[in-house]
Structure 1
Amino acid sequence: MHLDHDHDHDHHPGPAAVGADAVRPDGSRRALRIGLGGPVGSGKTATVAALCRALRDQLSIAVVTNDIYTREDAEFLLRNAVLPPERIQAVETGACPHTAIRDDISANLEAVEDLEDTVGPLDLILVESGGDNLTATFSRGLVDAQIFVIDVAGGDDIPRKGGPGVTTADLLVVNKTDLAPYVGSDLQRMARDAEEQRGGLPVAFTSLTGADGVRPVADWVRAQLLAWAA
């Protein structure tokens, strides 16, 4: 089995159906919003950084990060100069990450709308959740599609355990595949379990230590943008 690819799903080709909020007050099309969630340490911020590097020459991108009491993830992106500073906004949730991305999304909505007002027009806004558990999901009032990031160091039984993040995210990313030999994770088993849990929704295996390690995720994002534009 080749692990570095997505598995197509005929009934889930792109973002959710366009709603009234797809058009901004001035009549222009708003940016596609993609959320990234996952456990602490799975590589969400590194994935956001890699996506920005891979896509920034072709697309107009901005990022919203979520941390409970700090701006650490935003500061990481700023230190690595993945985007100009004005394109990165930090939200301090002050509570469980679930709250800010699923229950009370007002702070994140304000952040994405502010970015569109100040640096728009934008093609894509990435909204990164604070580190959470396997139940983390985004409100569809906040994002149009969601990526859930796990990593092989967390155990190769994570896909089998399921949870809403693993089973329902539009894309599941299994990150840090380069560590599999060192932590005893079976990538073939993870692929089988993920496919069984997800009913055909796509899965991407990534190692961001490689020069083009984020490619399967970047390709998926491009496909979402094509569907959004259509």
Structure 2
Amino acid sequence: MHLDHSHDESAAVSADAHRPDGRRRALRIGLGGPVGSGKTATVAALCKELRDERSLAVVTNDIYTREDAEFLLREAVLPPERITAVETGACPHTAIRDDISANLEAVEDLEDEVGPLDLILVESGGDNLTATFSKGLVDAQIFVIDVAGGDDIPRKGGPGVTTADLLVVNKTDLAPHVGSDLARMAADAKAQRAELPVIFQSLRSDEGVGPVAAWVRAQYAAWTASA
């Protein structure tokens, strides 16, 4: 289910779109959301969907481990040199919003070592509904929630739900098993987000990550058009 609002999906904007040497840098898209919402699975699916058409890389964030990066490596979604991990050592939102230096270093190192890159996905560690990315780190952000977390999450709001460039409601296939009302979630999401887009997703369906990948392609088209 894709709530097709009239909001311009080409949301990617950056004050610093070039590297110090003047070259256009990669588009950076952040993915945040609560623990267990399916961020890493969504990143993996996006890599598989886009890797044959774009040069991309991934930065993951965990507090004390490299678990998410290791999952992506096991799934072989990209060559190992295109996946790197940041161990935040503190609340995940600190490294994506407050002190972004470790993540900035990670994305810049990727561009230096395996570039040129078209797209870098920056996955936050699992956090709560207040998690947002600094605009100094990413150009657009996706917030992932899942139906098993409760169908009242969109109504509860929070900056992640209300302000992310794209809200993904994940694991819709579980709705009948956990008693979540997808129509209610859709109505609450629209009330919270107005014209910002929402995509309902099940990675187990035939459609899979397709609509989210299409949104990412739109961001990239806007990014290149603004060069």
Range into which the TM-score falls when normalised by the shorter chain: over 0.9
The Cα shift of 1:112 comes to 0.1
1:36 is aligned to 31
1:13-41 deviation line (CA, Å, top 9, x unaligned): 3212x42x211122210000000000000
1:88-144 deviation line (CA, Å, top 9, x unaligned): 010000000011000000000000000000000000000000000000000000000
1:15 counterpart (1, 12, 15):
12
Once the two structures are superposed, the pairs formed by residues 146-165 of structure 1 within 5 Å of their partners are 146-165=141-160
Residue type at the aligned position of 1:138: F
1:65 counterpart (60, 67, 70):
60
Same amino acid, percent of matched pairs:
82
1:129 is aligned to 124
CA contact under 8 A between 1:6 and 1:216: conserved in structure 2?
A: no
Q: Find out whether 1:93 has 2:91 as its counterpart.
A: no
2:2 is aligned to 4
Normalising by the residue count of structure 2, what TM-score does the alignment of the two structures yield? 0.97
Residue type at the aligned position of 1:9: H
Residue type at the aligned position of 1:209: R
CA distance in 2, matches of 1:62, 1:214: 17
1:111 is aligned to 106
Q: Find out whether 1:27 has 2:22 as its counterpart.
A: yes
CA distance in 2, matches of 1:121, 1:90: 19
CA distance in 2, matches of 1:92, 1:228: 29
Residue type at the aligned position of 2:148: A
CA distance in 2, matches of 1:203, 1:132: 20
2:40 counterpart (45, 53, 60):
45
Which stretches in structure 2 are left out of the alignment for 5+ residues? none
Q: Find out whether 1:138 has 2:133 as its counterpart.
A: yes
2:185 is aligned to 190
1:171-220 deviation line (CA, Å, top 9, x unaligned): 00000000000001010110010011001100001001124310110000
Instruction: Output the aligned Cα RMSD.
Output: 1.0
1:214 counterpart (205, 209, 213):
209
CA distance in 2, matches of 1:101, 1:118: 22
Residue type at the aligned position of 1:8: S
The Cα shift of 1:64 comes to 0.1
Residue type at the aligned position of 2:120: I
The Cα shift of 1:5 comes to 5.1
Which stretches in structure 1 are left out of the alignment for 5+ residues? none
2:71 counterpart (69, 76, 84):
76
